Amino acid sequence: MGQPPPRSASLSPVATRRHRLGARFRRCVAAAAGALALTVGLITVSPAASAAGLTQVTGFGTNPGNLSMYAYAPDALPAGAPLVLALHGCTQSAGDYYTHSGWPKFADAYGFALVLPQTSSANNANSCFNWFEPGDSARGQGEALSIRQMVDKAVALYGSDPRRVYITGLSAGGGMTANMLAAYPDVFAGGAVDSGLPARCATSVSAAYTCMYSPPDKTPAQWGDLVRSAAPSGTASWPRVAIWQGTADTTVRPANADELRDQWTDVWGIGQTPSRTESLGAGTTLSVYDDPSGRPAVQVYSVSGMAHGLAVDPGSGPEQCGSTGTYYLDTICSSYHTARFWGLGGGQGTGSLPAPTGLSVTATTDSTVSLSWTAVPGAASYVVRRGGTKVGTATAASYTDTGLATGTAYSYSVAAVDTSGAEGRVSPSVTATTSGFTPTCHTASNYDHTVAGRAYQSGGQTYAKGSGQAMGLWNTFTTHTLKQTAPDHYVLADSGCSP
């Protein structure tokens, strides 16, 4: 099919048709409030990208989808580094996603360029990517082609490795991500669909509602055929796909995660029974579906109690990221786990050795954690990571981590290293908690307690973290003493506090 001409600021025939669709859709929205997070909605918002460090890039191609390209590249980024594209949700912008999603942190930490495509109200009344429009989501057309052209531009600008290009998106951006993975499996090595939809689930506005609220219960083969028919003929290599979904999402029902899993496991030719599951904390369960070589091909992250949005975890820890906001929900850092799944920062390794099995905690003290695992044939050594950061190496199948804080939980993983120095795949993580705890006392205003993470505010009132004890108004004039009695647990101690 031919590609539509570039759209200008005035309404083209395509844009005029979309506005007519938008008018009809808004009448439907009156009977289905809440869907605005994915499709054309009730409020027209077109914020500009303005976050520090984010730069607009122009001249990236014919841009038939009338999108804007924003990018962030860490200083001294080497040639051959990976490239990540991140697509915002409805009512959001590139700058908004840059600020809240946590991706810039890992661009710095792991060394990759970051591209954030941006749509606008000229394309969609609620600034959503048109994931449900065939003319915008198929290979070589509309918005999909504009995003593809951004990849070429970024590879040329930053010297990115075209074999390590990844794409992720939230909500409508997640729906578009699934379609991009289907249409361009030759471009993307991996993707992540956050609170999104299966590829090619909808080809009209009305069908979009069906997908969101009650996705079609197709067989895995039927879902897989939709991907295969969107991809170039003869495609035999597919991207690795992460799927993120909150169990309390009423905008994109959790059933969508099941259909996404069925779709991409079928594309990979693997079953729908997970190879293993594990708890990541924060109510998140990870289900892993390995390819025939034992490497994860599809991963499903189910976040218990999370509503519609992107999972973030504000903080400075190595596994934390992002900041809260509308559709940015404080649970777990999805960007960290997605990056590790793709192998950025050594997550999946580049060597051929399998992931060590049987990783377990053999002992803990106030300041140490001892680990053991099953030896991997051919391993010359092992890399041990705490919270995703390398903390040591071992030549035997055991390791003791020292100098830790008392009463604190730590997450560990291990990878085998071959004789050439190549690190293999990473084991599932285990959590260890050191013993003991030294209480501490803190006197400050309610506002400062909240900023420091010792308390939280709700409805203008302040409550001690952990105990939930009421502390009064959230302001700088009300002062209390809090005693920390356990990790993340504080109690009021105004009458006296001794560590």
Catalytic residues, by residue number, are 171
**Site of tokens 């100098």:** 403
- CA–CA distance, 170 with 315 (Å, rounded to integer): 21
Distances (CA, A) of 32 to 53, 89, 126, 210: 38, 19, 15, 11
β-bridge pairing 409-417 and 381-386: antiparallel
The separation between the first and the last C-alpha atoms of the chain, rounded to the nearest angstrom, is 72
Distances (CA, A) of 194 to 45, 191, 416: 21, 10, 31
| CA dihedral over 445, 447, 452, 458, signed as positive or negative | positive
Radius of gyration of the chain (CA): 24
- CA–CA distance, 33 with 49 (Å, rounded to integer): 27
* Strand order from edge to edge, sheet including 470-473: 455-458, 461-464, 470-473
Q: Would you state the structure tokens that stand for residue 31, as one six-digit string?
A: 């009977």
Question: CB within 8 A of 135, min separation 6: which ones?
Answer: 4, 14, 141, 142
Q: How many CB atoms lie within 10 A of CB 143?
A: 28
- CA–CA distance, 411 with 281 (Å, rounded to integer): 10
394: left (phi over 0), alpha (psi -120 to 50) or beta: beta
